[in-house]
């Protein structure tokens, strides 16, 4: 282009380019920082549909004395599995057939439902931690060999994150902390009151129920992050 552009113009253009390059590398730096932040705090989602944990005694009634659960598939938490076996769960107002049993067996039977399920069954189950069953409503479990009237054990699982001590250290949280979790996508938002559970027997995973998964448009393996509100 010869000297069509004057010296001053070219000098300014070079300065502009240098400024632009600086700006771009600052933006890239910021984006990388944010990605690293997300990487450090990101947690895969596990969506829990309604399911049942059974005691030895109740499995004896539902499927026969000494019956052993058959593994259908592994779950996100080590040693936990979805069984081939299902039961009908019946409440005062409705029932669900084919509700999956999760293994292994537990000291006490427990039915985990969503709030929507509770309306259909006709039970007001508290939103609480797994195993906190005192005062919770009962339900009827119907298996191929018999029926169990659970005196208690129906809960809506408090949304929670399983993690290892190494995860907890990396994320700066500890067992029983209550945190906020940021979700992404079409129905992005923040889930508050999320319980952190830390154990070397856990794998990193946040459990939400079907109501929560649908409200946030989340599916298994989607990522969320612990949020600072």
Smaller CB separation from a second copy, 108 or 180 = 180
From the list 11-19, 34-42, 83-91, 113-121, the region that binds a second copy by CB under 8 A is: 113-121
Smaller CB separation from a second copy, 161 or 216 = 216
* CA–CA dist 108, 54 (Å, integer): 7
Report residue 68 as tokens: 């052993």
Q: What is the per-residue burial (b if ≥16 Cβ within 10 Å, else e) of 162-176?
A: bbeeebbeebebeee
Smaller CB separation from a second copy, 109 or 136 = 136
212 lies in the binding site for a second copy (CB under 8 A) = yes
Residues 149-168 that bind a second copy (CB under 8 A): 159
CB 128 → a second copy: shortest distance, Å?
10
CA R_g for the chain: 25
180 lies in the binding site for a second copy (CB under 8 A) = yes
Q: What are the CA-CA distances from residue 174 to residues 17, 23, 119, 195, 227 (Å)? A: 48, 39, 34, 10, 15
Strands (E), the chain: 42-48, 51-53, 71-74, 81-90, 95-103, 110-112, 127-128, 140-142, 147-149, 154-157, 160-163, 178-183, 189-198, 205-209, 223-227
Smaller CB separation from a second copy, 55 or 214 = 214
Q: Which of 127, 165, 175, 176 contacts a second copy by CB under 8 A?
A: 127
In 3D space, the residue among 34, 41, 37, 39 whose CA is nearest the CA of residue 163 turns out to be 41
CB 99 → a second copy: shortest distance, Å?
15
Q: Which of 3, 8, 134, 186 contacts a second copy by CB under 8 A?
A: 186
Q: How many residues sit close enough to a second copy to count as binding (CB under 8 A)?
A: 22
Q: Which of 191, 198, 206, 225 contacts a second copy by CB under 8 A?
A: 191
Q: Contact residues for a second copy (CB under 8 A)?
A: 114-116, 127, 159, 180, 186-193, 210-212, 214-217, 229
């Amino acid at each position: 282009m010869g000297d069509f552009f004057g010296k001053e113009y070219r000098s300014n253009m070079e300065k502009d380019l240098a400024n632009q390059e600086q700006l771009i590398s600052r933006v890239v730096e910021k984006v990388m920082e944010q990605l690293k932040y997300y990487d450090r705090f990101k947690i895969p989602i596990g969506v829990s549909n309604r399911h049942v944990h059974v005691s030895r005694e109740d499995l004896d009634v539902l499927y026969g004395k000494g019956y052993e659960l058959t593994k259908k598939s592994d779950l996100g938490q080590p040693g936990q599995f979805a069984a081939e076996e299902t039961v009908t769960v019946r409440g005062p107002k409705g029932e669900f057939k084919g509700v999956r049993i999760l293994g292994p067996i537990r000291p006490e039977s427990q039915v985990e439902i969503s709030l929507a399920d509770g309306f259909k069954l006709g039970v007001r189950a508290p939103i609480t931690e797994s195993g906190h069953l005192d005062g919770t409503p009962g339900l009827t479990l119907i298996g191929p060999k018999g029926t169990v009237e659970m005196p208690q054990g129906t809960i809506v699982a408090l949304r929670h994150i399983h993690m290892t001590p190494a995860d907890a250290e990396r994320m700066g949280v500890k067992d029983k902390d209550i945190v906020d979790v940021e979700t992404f996508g079409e129905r992005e938002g923040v889930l508050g009151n999320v319980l952190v559970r830390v154990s070397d027997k856990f794998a990193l995973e946040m459990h939400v129920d079907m109501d929560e998964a649908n409200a946030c448009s989340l599916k298994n393996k989607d990522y969320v992050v612990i949020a600072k509100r």
